[in-house]
Structure 1
Amino acid sequence: MDEHRLKCFVAVYEQGSVSAAAERLHMTQPPLSILLRKLEEELKVSLFDRSGHRLVPTATGELFYLRAKALQASLQAVRRELREAEQGSRGTVHVGCATAASLFLMPRVMEQLMACDLKITVHVHEGETGYMLQRLRERSLDLIICRSQYTAPELQNLEIMNEPLRVALPPQHPLCEHAQVPLAALRHERFLLHSSLLGTGISDMLLRACQQAGFTPEVAYWGVETLPMLLMVQKGLGVAFAPESFAQLGMQGLPALVPLQDAGLRTHLNLIWQRAHALPPAAERLKALILAQCGVQPAG
């Protein structure tokens, strides 16, 4: 049974005669009658009572009509979904996200998805960047948005955000009231830093800057996520560093984020994907939305 036979049966059922159905289908009557007979033989049932002058659907024919209409609707839905998937307006995209991307970027991207009526499901994965990079290479992630920069030849690395770094200070810290804090003023503090097993991240930049300022900081904690470190700072366990965007959170229980005096201490958010493998259409569409939100031109 194919779709054409379904269409012919539905036409005969709805028109009530083969001749009227043939006219609707732009075909002649004899081939349509033969097609109906073959359909009944294939299904091994009688779909119409032919004893009178008019075709009357049997109880089996009534049931088959309901099923045929449902099948037609299902086939139309399948075609529509396939077109949408091919055009990148439907699908699932797996994205590895840094905390800042999850907090500040992805909500805006999701608003755009809704505004554009795109049927894209975004599956966000958070965790250590090296692990996410491995998953990207295994193709279980489509994109990564992270702080670390990579120069591997198989990866495309595009900077999508650049913002100043701030220092998180414990409550009542004497530097809290300062408009800016020089890095050298933190030489006696315990540092809570982001671990960066692969690539170049915030901590690498900070450690170099500390050496240039004439000291090597005491690192009391290496972590992956920014928010837990900010909570530790609030408990007086040390100082941490966060992008300026974290000052927008306005959440209770978070420490003061004071601008750093050193102008070169900036943090970058990078979008990473594989060069060798074309992104699925939905992932390509999501990547375009991310770049548009950040005001970045696509990589050539």
Structure 2
Amino acid sequence: MISKIVWNPLFRFLLFWTIAGAFVYSADYYLDAFSLTKLVAVGRSGMEGGVDDAAKLIEDPGVVSSLAFAIGVAGTALLLAFLIMHVLLVEMSMGSARRILNRRAGELGFANTYEERIKPRLLRHPLVGSAWKEFDDTLLKDRVDQGEPIENTIRPQAFINIAMIRENLPGLKVISSISGYFVGTGLLLTFVGIVLALHKAATAAGSSDAAVMQSAVQELLQVASFKFWTSIAGLATSIVFALASRWFVIWIESALTRFCEDAEHQLKYSSPNSIAAKAFEVGKDQRDQLKEINSDRYFSRLADSVG
């Protein structure tokens, strides 16, 4: 019951964004340089008060630092949500699947309990169930009654791999592309800040007072230097996110590899070449028997036995 709830798409979607949102609000509470209130004020002033009000707010270094920290906080929040909802849950789920295999039972113990106990539980598994059903169709189980282990003709990695996880967890399909959005967001905020600064400087440029014009240029340069912090934050967040997301995928692949290794430990692998060699030997025996049937000795023995 718990497994069905945990792997329910709607539940996972809500919990994912709850984790991310909780981290953002925690950062707002504990980090002095990050303020959601200031960010909301900038957005509200831009929509209600126009460009002039937004330009005044953007001059505040605290607003600029909040924008830069917002990119880093957003990236960290997403990484935390991916870590919990994808990596750790997949690791725990594959661990439970490995316990179903019961590696210590050995090949014969696995073969004797496979149909009654192991197979039904694996087919109900939320992650590997459908893939194991396809893998089960490739198993050779006709000699289990003779005390032989189950044979597999295809490696389980062909069915149980990262592509299977991506089909079950769509978030893994987009995690590798998210890092690029942080760079774009940082550049967008930088240019928006520069446009607002230029807008304010343009209003002062029409003044006949040289001191006012010089002050406007100084403010423009000062404000523009602050705006590039968002680009730096976006680039840094993108690099960290890309490295972490790649590490997450490797972690998941390791969990899948351990499961496949345990599965192969319980099976006897028969490669296509060995199967072809056995078929060739059987064909040779049949050929020899046909030759014997078509020989004169066979018919003479048959006549003697009938007579």
Higher strand fraction: Structure 1 or Structure 2?
1
Higher helix fraction: Structure 1 or Structure 2?
2
TM-score after normalising by structure 1: 0.26
